Amino acid sequence: MNVLFDQEKLEIRAKERKIPQFKVKQIFFELFKNQHIEWDEMTTLSNQLKDELKSDFSVLSLKCMETVEAETTTKFAFQTEDGYTVEAIIMYHWQDEKYIKNNKRKLNRITLCISSQIGCPVNCLFCVTWKLWFTRNLTWDEIISQILYANAYIFKRFGKKEDWTHRWVRNVVFMWMWEPLLNYDEVKKSVEIMLQQDRFSLGRRHVTISTAGIIPWIERLIEDKLDVKLAVSLHAPNQQLRERIMPIARRYQLDKLMEVIDRYVEVTDNRIFYEYIMIAWITDKPELADELVELLRDRLAHVNLIPYNSNPVIDLKESSEKSIQNFKRILEKGWITVTVRESMWREAKWACGQLGYERVKKK
């Protein structure tokens, strides 16, 4: 069935049924601004119009099967129309405790990590998700449905702000079920909708595409001038180790990858976020930190050190805190901007590299 936010199909149907243009605008206002995804909630639409629309359109193309809530996160498990499961997670960025007034903690901003594929074809050594195997790419409307659902959930959970404006997703990150650049056309269309002023109205710096380094599609980003933020899963400072950790590196060589990233930075002037996983005795050696400094020297770069999140189906160990901090010091001494990521949601198996753990365990 068609989705209600497919503008092209909705306008065709509106023309056939002589629905005025202002009512079409009301539909999009209900979805994107009022954050309503239930027919009964769309009070600006007449019952007659809603009845007409119901026969041709569903509001979303995904159905939420499970919601798991925590103070800093909410995880959704969605079912596609053909019966597959994809996941997304909201991250809440709360005000620092020292700024709390009247025992009320302010919610500063909200980030949503979304899926662009069912499963993952990249097969990284440390990640459990690829063990689900790759099934298919998500369509643009399945990607957008995740954001619409998240915004509606945020409205129901938190209500409006004190000034009566809405809370909604401020940052969208393609960093859940992966690899977004291998689903380029659908991801591109969904990003264009995210940036539209009368849709989600997100800024370009508030949309991040995370990639394992698919060179031809980074070149497409440059050609299409889609200058959103780019996060590159690097995980090793040299070709040999990167091939061991990420088999896809055999196809997309590190030196060629850095060349295309340099071109991307030249065109967009965007800082690149490099993801680097800290695995004991494999990626956390001091000499690798020195190599990473040399690789990123004079480049517009920010390194995120990600502690490996262990799980029973992969035989690897997390680096010690001492090793991580020593690695960080070496990068900082080489004038590389670096952050150590918090290992949030590890116990719930929601952390980086753990997505799909429950389903893999069942298998």
Do residues 62 and 6 touch, judged by C-beta distance below 8 A? no
Rounded Cα distance, 169 and 151, in Å:
6
- Clarify whether 87 is annotated catalytic: yes
In the set 64, 113, 127, 352, the catalytic residue is 352
- Report residue 142 as tokens: 């399945």
Count CB-CB contacts under 10 A for residue 220: 15
Q: Starting at the earlier edge strand, list the strands of the sheet with 229-233.
A: 62-69, 73-80, 85-94, 107-114, 171-174, 207-211, 229-233, 272-278, 301-307, 337-340
Rounded Cα distance, 193 and 164, in Å:
25
Rounded Cα distance, 327 and 284, in Å:
7
328 DSSP assignment:
H
Q: Quick check: helix, strand or coil at residue 317?
A: coil
> How large is the greatest C-alpha to C-alpha distance in the chain, in angstroms?
69
Rounded Cα distance, 107 and 168, in Å:
11
Provide the pairing of β-strand 229-233 with 272-278.
Answer: parallel
Residue holding tokens 């591109």?
Answer: 188
Provide the sign of the torsion angle of the four alpha carbons 141, 143, 152, 22, taken in this order. negative
Those residues with Cβ within 8 angstroms of residue 195's Cβ, 6 or more apart along the chain or in another chain: 201, 202, 203, 204, 207
What is the residue type of 319? Answer: S
In the set 30, 64, 87, 120, the catalytic residue is 87
- Clarify whether 113 is annotated catalytic: no
Do residues 191 and 100 touch, judged by C-beta distance below 8 A? no
Active-site amino acid positions:
87, 352
